[in-house]
Chain A
Amino acid sequence: MLFRHIDEPNLRSIDVYRRLGGYRSLSQAFKEIEPEDLVAELEDSGLRGRGGAGFSMGKKGSFLPHGDMEKYLCCNADESEPGAFKDRELMMKNPHQLIEGCAIAALAVDATYAFIFIRGEYWEVADVLDEAVVEAYNAGFLGSNILGTGSRVELVVHRGAGAYICGEETALLDALEGKRGNPRLKPPFPAIQGLYGGPTLINNVETLSNVPHIIRNGADWYKRFGTEESTGTKVVSVSGCVERPGNYEIELGIPTREIIYGLAGGPLEGRRVKAWFPGGSSAPVLTETELDLPYTFEAMAEAGSMLGSGSIIVADETVSIPELALRTARFYHHESCGKCTPCREGTNWTVKMLERVVNGLGTPMDLDIIASVQNNIMGNCLCVLGDSMAMPVGSMVRKFRGEFESAVEGVRVAA
């Protein structure tokens, strides 16, 4: 669906996109459908947010109050989760699909201003988007009088400057308002009080890219893909120790083994899967025995992990789990914004203790302390950045405790 035509030469240009049926949904939405019906259709489709939380997009849209106040749409293109690179490909190769989705979503929630917040590292992708936005303005799909209907949507591509935390929706809003990207206290949720204090709908690139397809083909059509709870297709980013890392669009519900072995070619020659992150580095790791679980939001949650942004990272048996835990923890330590103490100090001390363990200076007590630090971060901060370290690191210590212990023991025996 999203990846259809993705390798069509020059799909990023508006002419090719339109030749393949692009912007038909937009014209349908602006000319024939009432905004409330758009929201209802999206809600009915069961489309769940593709950024990580998996919340129903239509429901989120319906939370926005009606009235005269200025409302906003923000597209979260700050894709910074380790292992995730789907939005990059979607924007770079098919920017108009996203622009069309943004315009329709803006109309649905009555937002005049729509922003695409793209991470600063994606400079060349933002260049592609900028060009596409100009094309869309010139063709009358954006601006103050869209297709002569009098509706107005202004779309601004806003480049970030390197901060994982800005992928958190309230930090993203702060960054967009020109502040340091620190998360806000919720509630109030952005749907009630977001950008510049106005009701704001925030959705991920992939979620918004689904919108034109749903509007064009209807919610019932969309629901036929995937499972009852996880409708539609999902772009999965597979990386790490596999033969063919890349983005693959799948129907939710197929066995994970099929994704890792079938699509991504399985682990490198002669190796086996040791551990895998089902949803980016923030998801608790699963093991080889869990490869046959269906890839859905529910099954991953039941297994004690999460589907998150749909980024599978595979580690094979040559990988040391304590070192993997250290890499993971270092990232969150670096990216913690420092606003909440449990996250700022917890990530710091987790890194220090894991460094001790990896360098052979650990004590058996460290493992219990590492585990207890994770428990003390969970749920105690404004946002989930700290939890995002606590969950995978905690799961690694739990599931591969023997390996951590031998890292500690090995040195003691040698000494």
Chain B
Amino acid sequence: MTDLPELRPTDDLPAAERDALIASMRPEDAERVPELHEVDVPEELRAEIEQAMSRYPQLRSASIPAMWAVQRHYGWCTPEGIRQAAAVMGLTPAYLEAIATFYDLFRTTPAGRHQVLVCHNISCWLRGADDLTRALCDAAGVDAHEADHDGATSADGEIFIKGFECLGACDIAPMASIDQRYYGPLDADDAAAAIEQLRSGAEVLPEKALAKRPVAGGPEPEPDPRVAEVEGDRGAPGSGAEEAARS
């Protein structure tokens, strides 16, 4: 691959320079689809992407799964990883880069080894998400404001914290997604413990994992009113129907 000039955000350029740059771009200069022999795709990554492609009626549908595979393999969507996926899929790297930058969960810059996403949307905010973010950031030693907006990685490269939009777990607010698993409700002590556990490689907050919650919604009054008790077969309608939603 040829050496590319150093890239600078076009917002930083003076208008004249920017205009000259745009004028210099020609469609035929756009990077074409890389050939497989031009990139060095790890066997495992290639197999994973090809398997994803085989599951859809149209190959392009595998572009999101392919980016997941790249991110899993390299820790983030690296430019080289994107080129490799593009070669396997027969797409231009630009196409896949557009995918990687559109979706919030794909990272196009290096980030910490462990990923902590803190929900800062309405329901979590109402129950103290801002305090939770601060506690996590204090424990990890990153700037809370930066983490809440763009995400921030701790100095040792271990922990990446980012404020995130609704993660769909308002029943355990305030909550966070830690390495793709949900935990909540979390207080400041939990936050400190979680960061400590991530650093030491211990199991994270076993008692706060969503997967282990028997019933969402906190302590249950008896009898369980959440279940609309309705049952019936074609032959016997009416059994217990009126009891639906008793409270």
Contacts and interface: CB of A to CB of B under 8 A. Distances in A.
Going nearest first, the 4 A-B pairs with the smallest beta carbon separation are: A246-B217, A239-B170, A162-B104, A161-B103
Determine the interface band of chain A, counting residues with CB < 8 A from chain B: 35 or more
Contacts of B8: none
B123 A83 contact: yes
A4 B244 CA distance: 11
A325 to B, nearest CB: 10
Nearest to B89: A178
B230 interface: yes
Contacts of B233: 216-217
Interface in A330-346: 331, 334-335
B214 to A, nearest CB: 6
Given A237-B171, A246-B171, A249-B228, A163 B103 contact: yes
B227 A3 contact: yes
B228 A1 contact: yes
Interface residues of B, number: 67
Interface in A38-78: 70
Interface of A: 1, 3-4, 6-7, 70, 79-85, 87-89, 92, 113, 119-124, 156, 158-164, 175-181, 196, 216-218, 220-221, 224-225, 233, 237, 239-241, 243-251, 254, 258, 262-265, 277, 281, 311, 313, 315, 319, 324, 327-328, 331, 334-335
24 contacts: A1-B228, A1-B244, A82-B170, A121-B167, A124-B182, A156-B56, A158-B65, A160-B64, A217-B233, A224-B241, A237-B170, A239-B170, A239-B173, A245-B123, A246-B217, A250-B245, A251-B244, A254-B245, A263-B225, A313-B126, A315-B126, A319-B126, A327-B121, A331-B122
Nearest to A220: B237
Contacts of A84: 166, 168, 170
A139 to B, nearest CB: 20
B60 interface: yes
A175 B64 contact: yes
Interface in B51-81: 55-58, 60-65, 67-68
B145 interface: no
A371 B184 CA distance: 36
A3 B61 CA distance: 33
Given A240-B122, A249-B245, A180 B102 contact: yes
Contacts of A161: 64, 67-68, 103-106
B234 interface: yes
B226 A178 contact: no
Given A161-B104, A264-B217, A335-B165, 14 more contacts: A4-B227, A4-B229, A82-B170, A180-B98, A225-B241, A225-B244, A239-B171, A240-B170, A243-B218, A246-B171, A249-B226, A262-B225, A262-B247, A327-B121
Given A83-B122, A177-B58, A244-B219, A217 B226 contact: no
B64 A124 contact: no
B132 interface: no
Nearest to B103: A161
A334 B231 CA distance: 43
A164 B168 CA distance: 11
A288 to B, nearest CB: 16
Nearest to A334: B165
Contact of A240 (B102, B126, B247): B126
